Amino acid sequence: MSTQTVQMTDRPTLSEQAPVLLSRIAGYVAHRTVVIGLRAGLLRGIADSPGVSADELSDRLGLDPFYVSVWCRSAFAAGILARGGEGGYGFELEPHLDTLLLDIASPAYLGDVFLVCDAPEMFGRFEENLASGRRMWWDDTTPDWINGVAGAGTPFYTRLVPAGLAHVPGLAERLATGCRIVDTACGSGVGLVRLATTYPNCTVVGVDGDRHSVEVARERIRAAGVDDRVRLVCSPLEDMVLDEPAGLVVNNISMHECRDADLVTRNVAAALEPGGWFVISDFPFPDSDTGLRTPPGQVMCGIQFFEAQIDDQLVPRSTYDELLARRGFTNVGSVQLTPMHALTYGQVPPAGSGG
């Protein structure tokens, strides 16, 4: 943690603090309103029929009209809905909220982040186990959780492939020629499909330690019609041994979870061809008090409640610079894609470089 701290010299008055605290409750109300809207199809219903009234909406969705009117008012208050339709009695989504909340193909998609924050794995189990400190692993989570995490991870893959990877010098050319790509901690396979479809000359291997996730990934690659070029391995990354050298190994929002990140990085280096790249795509946890007090910092603090239960924490991005340097990677670099998404990359020394 850096020495930069939030100065408390200008002590706020009680009447200054009260509205700040109230805004936290307002955020909770807005969050619950969005979650209900996503789950019950209210947001989708309004996106499909801008200007729809609460009565029409309840009728279409088979929901109680009074409850729907209460939800619409709260969504309006939260800045999710605008007034619209005839005489302003109906509702439409505020600009871009269809993209942010409903379009899973968008790099800006956030809908599933709302849903995973509401899942018992995030805060409920943490509070239940606050005294015992009982830990869990992915096979203790529900299929709903794994599905929600896949949705929340999808925009990370969307930003990574191909635009994020294009930041890595020389990598786009290697991928166009064709090579093996390994997605370490591939989860339920969203990235495998994206890599296989974006780079048709490449073969792809997905490695993950959770059997259920691997089975979901198997079905996903079959449904996408890329199973002839994608192979799955169920294994801890700490035990990963691959038969054929890869030009690229990626890891999306999972490197912080490794039980032994040094050993995993050594296994990745061993899996790469000379000159091959390792690209770590992860949450850049704030390394200052100022960073913690930003909205991205606060959301990442929320994610830490789940990470704690699987016995890890998100880490500052610079941790990966040190990790890659320690394991002999060269040309280490990084790029911040959003306030909650950064890439760190490094290259196994090319043949004959003396590395």
Ligand X SMILES: C[S@@+](CC[C@H](N)C(=O)[O-])C[C@H]1O[C@@H](n2cnc3c(N)ncnc32)[C@H](O)[C@@H]1O
- Please, what is the minimum distance in Å from the beta carbon of residue 189 to ligand X? 8
Residue (190 or 324) nearer to ligand X, CB: 190
Residue (51 or 236) nearer to ligand X, CB: 236
Stretch that binds ligand X, among 63-71, 248-256, 315-323, 331-339 (CB under 6 A): 248-256
The reply on whether position 38 binds ligand X by CB under 6 A is no
Residue 93 three-state SS: strand
Cα–Cα distance for residue pair 320/110, rounded to 1 Å: 25
Paired sense of beta strands 180-184 and 246-252, if any: parallel
Strand partners, 272: 246
Cα–Cα distance for residue pair 179/173, rounded to 1 Å: 10
Give, as ranges, the residues between 215 and 234 that touch ligand X (CB under 6 A): none
The reply on whether position 339 binds ligand X by CB under 6 A is no
The reply on whether position 252 binds ligand X by CB under 6 A is yes
Residue (81 or 248) nearer to ligand X, CB: 248
Torsion of CA 99, 105, 111, 112, to 10 degrees: 180
The reply on whether position 211 binds ligand X by CB under 6 A is no
Paired sense of beta strands 90-93 and 81-84, if any: antiparallel
- Please, what is the minimum distance in Å from the beta carbon of residue 190 to ligand X? 5
The reply on whether position 253 binds ligand X by CB under 6 A is yes
Task: Count residues near ligand X (CB under 6 A).
Answer: 23
Q: Which parts of the chain fold into alpha helices (H)?
A: 14-39, 42-48, 54-61, 65-77, 97-102, 111-118, 124-128, 143-159, 171-177, 190-198, 211-223, 261-271, 289-292, 295-309, 318-326
Strand partners, 335: 343
The reply on whether position 259 binds ligand X by CB under 6 A is yes
Give, as ranges, the residues between 186 and 205 that touch ligand X (CB under 6 A): 186-187, 190-191
The reply on whether position 151 binds ligand X by CB under 6 A is no
The reply on whether position 236 binds ligand X by CB under 6 A is yes
Cα–Cα distance for residue pair 242/117, rounded to 1 Å: 35
Chain positions contacting ligand X, by CB under 6 A = 138, 149-150, 153, 156, 185-187, 190-191, 208-210, 213, 236-238, 252-254, 257-259
